[in-house]
Structures are given as structure tokens and as C-alpha cells.
Amino acid sequence: MKYLAQRLHGLFGQDRLATSLRRNGWHWNLENPGRLCNHLLRALGELLISETINFETCCYEGEEFMSELRGACIIGQSGGPTAVINASALGVIRTALDTDCITRVLGAANGIQGVLEDRLYDMGQEDAGELELLRYTPSSALGSCRYKLADPSQDDTDYRRILEIFRKYDVRYFFYNGGNDSMDTCNKISKYMQSVGYACRVIGVPKTIDNDLNGTDHCPGFGSAARYIATTCMEVQRDTHVYDNGTITVLEIMGRHAGSAALAAWVGYGPDLIYLPEVDFDMERFLADVHQVYQAKNKCLIAVSEGIHRADGAFIAEGVSAAANDGFGHTQLGGLAALLADLLRQREPSAKVRGIELSLPQRCGAHSASQTDIDEAFLAGKAAVEAAVAGYSDKMVAFRCTREGGYRCETVLEPLDIVANAEKTVPRAWINADGNGLEQPFIDYVLPLIQGVPRAPQEHSLPRYARLKKVLVSQEA
């Protein structure tokens, strides 16, 4: 009887079952299962009449236990790539291939667009050795996209197509690897599948160099980007001191609303000044800061996030170039370093001024990746599959870390609702009072994430990246 009560608790949830029990004369109490018999039968009859039950799902004491769900899985990549996003893909693919209840592993060509267009790769056809090379291969091996799904209440066309594809290939597991907007896609698909009663477990796998995903200590991809940015800044700093003439150098670093990536420039020798989106940018104050440093040192190295903005929220870089918006409506930023360099040439005519945009290498520089980042990226993908097979859905894999007495990291699950379209920014306490430098807590936070030099495979003294066959399921004989 107690087992029956527990199963009903899982099928309907405690609140609904308790309400029905009260209407039938009994207060919810699993500790006295022997007295539940008549009340449970009456409550069960009421609930059976009132709605259709999805017997796939059963919850008990806060954890989900489900009957084995057999079917195929899809792994898709979305948004901007990173140096380690393929390590996460490998974590998903390798674990899924080794899982009995996952009957087939499919890779979506260019993210959700590949699902909509029925362009799915049969990952089981790939050579095991080539798959393993994904661990050290940068960028998105399956292809990415920036495609925003509409609100299904306004337009469910895409969702009906996704459901059609899921049914065609008996897809019961969906893993989506990306950042804020990708988690929005994941969340919408998960909620839609629930609304139509299609059993499919949906798990988000995090990635972003901006380190701005809510609900996680940090994001896979950030550690490697931070290591690349810190190393590059150290190298540029050495170069600016070669000659005895005056120099001013501006480094533009990715980061629309979160400045973690730019803040990483300070980890090595560090720039003289740093400006982040978390602090409103004042042009006159900036020019005065640079003048003060230049007068004192005859040199000035500056790091700026691409997303620095005025007090009214307008990006400094907005309007520099005729850049289009991406699929999620974000203005593509760029040209900030050149803009600031031009202004500084006018203010400091004696200085040799350069503007350097780190651009794509900061997100795909696998030669400067962090082994810790690679390992954790793989772990995130592996944990996603294990969680889904265990019965979890509608979640994103997140990291919980401690740094006192040594660095330790473990995976947890966060609801997609708190992640989708939310952004985590740099705490103000990590930025100095003047808003142009950092404080020690950021150093303590980031150092463990950039540790370890990968022993990546090479060919002719160059990196050996994965060469996938990418066999389309739709074209298989």
C-alpha cells in the first residue's frame, strides 16, 4: 500500500493527490499507509476520470524515477562556438553510444535548424578514434546556428515540425549545447513536448566564453577563453615595451553584457586599465584615465569589453559599422578598439596608438585551451546523458564548485526556467572602486579554471583535429 501511495504521489504530484484525498475524507500522510486504502481508491477514481495520466513519469521524494525510456537521441550545438564545445559533444555522444536504452545517436547539422530541415548525422557511423579527437577540436563540429523559436502560443509551426522529426526517428532524448538563447530553445522544446504528451527528456548542456549563464559557477568554454586572453595580453604587454617611444594599445575582448572574459586579461601581467559592461562608460573619464597612466609610464595598455555602454545603455560600439542583428535580435558588435584608438590619437599625438580586436581566436584558440576546461566540458556532456537516462528532464547541467582548501567541481541540475534568457554578470565587488580594474576575488575565482596544458594530438607538428564523415540519416541506404 505504501508503494501504491508513492506511485500515485509520483503520477499526480503531492498537491493534486493530497487535494483529492482531502475531498475523499483523508489528509495526506505517507507515514500511515495502512489507513490509505479506501481513500486512495476513491482518489484514484476521481483523478482517472478527470484527466489522462502519463505513466512514463513517476516522482518520489523529490527525485524522478521513470520506467526505462527507449529511443534515439539528438545532440545539437548552438550559438557561438568555443575551444571546448566539442568536448561536451563527445561527452554526450560517447556516453549515449554506450547506453543500452539509447537506440541511436543523431547529430543535428547546424543545431535546431538541422532538426527542422531533417539534416541529422548518424554518429554511430563515425570512427571511434575520430570521435575521440573531438576532445581537442575547437569550434562546433556539428555546425551551429542562431535561430530563435517563436512563442508556441503565437506560432507553433516549428514545434510541430520538430515533433514530426522526433516521431520519425523515435527521438526520446534531446541534448542542446549552447548559451543563454540556446537554453531558451531547449526550454521551449521541453515545455512543448510536455504539452502534447510526447515522452522526450530534454537536457541543456552549457557553453559560453562570456561566462554569463545563470545557475552555474562557471561555463565550459570560459576557462580556455580566459587562458587565451590572459596569455595574449601578457604577450602584447611585452611587445609594447620593446621600444622606448610612447605607446597606447587598446585590446577589444568579447563580452556583450558580462565582462568576465575581459577581466581575465588582468590575470597575468595585466593591462593598466580595464573597462567592463558592468560599469557605465564615461568617455571623458576614460580619456583622463589613459592620459594619467600615459604621462606616468609613457605606455598604456587597455582592455575593453565589446559591450561597454553609456549610462543610457547605448553601446559605445553601436553604429561603428553597419552590422546586422543575429537570429536572436542581438546587434553584432565590433570595431570598438579602432574607435577608441582614433580618439586617443587625437588626445595623445605623441603616442603610437594601436587598436587590436581579439575577435574569433579568443573563442576558438584550442592551442591555448585549459585542460581543466576540457575535462569539465566533457563531464557536462556525460552528466547530461546520465541525468536523462535516470529520468530527469527540463534541466541544464550546471557546476557547483568550492575553492577553499583546493578546487573541487561537481555537476548539478538546474531548471531550464531559471537559465533561459537570463544573464549572470560580474559581481561589482570584483571590480575596483574606480571601475577600471579588478579586485583579488576574481583572481581567486578564475585561476583554477585555467589550469592544465593539454597534450593534444598533432600531425606534422600541427594540431590534429577530428575529421567526421557526417553521414546523413536521410541519405542512408
- For the range 416-419, what are the long-range contacts, defined as Cβ-Cβ under 8 Å and sequence gap of 24 or more? 416/183, 416/186, 416/187, 416/190, 416/202, 416/204, 417/187, 418/214, 418/215, 419/180, 419/183, 419/187, 419/204, 419/213, 419/214, 419/215
Looking at residue 108, its amino acid is: A
List the end-to-end C-alpha distance of the chain, in Å, as a whole number. 52
C-alpha cell at 42: 476513491
Which one of the listed residues 122, 210, 272, 289 is annotated catalytic? 210
Asked if residues 233 and 261 have their Cβ atoms less than 8 Å apart, the reply is no
**Rounded distance between C-alpha atoms, residue 18 and residue 8, angstroms:** 10
> What does the chain come to in residues?
477
Please give the biggest Cα pair distance in the chain: 91
CA angle 228, 319, 310 (to 5 degrees): 75
**Rounded distance between C-alpha atoms, residue 465 and residue 138, angstroms:** 8
Q: Which residues are CB-neighbours of 25 under 8 A, at least 6 positions away?
A: 39
Of 364, 261, 245, which is closest to residue 305 (Cα–Cα)? 261
Query: Which burial class, exposed, middle or buried, applies to 453 when counting CB atoms under 10 A from its CB (0-12, 13-18, 19+)?
Result: exposed
DSSP state of 355: E
Q: What are phi and psi of 410, to 5 degrees?
A: -135, 155
Catalytic status, residue 210 = yes
**Rounded distance between C-alpha atoms, residue 396 and residue 436, angstroms:** 34
Give me the active site residues, please: 210
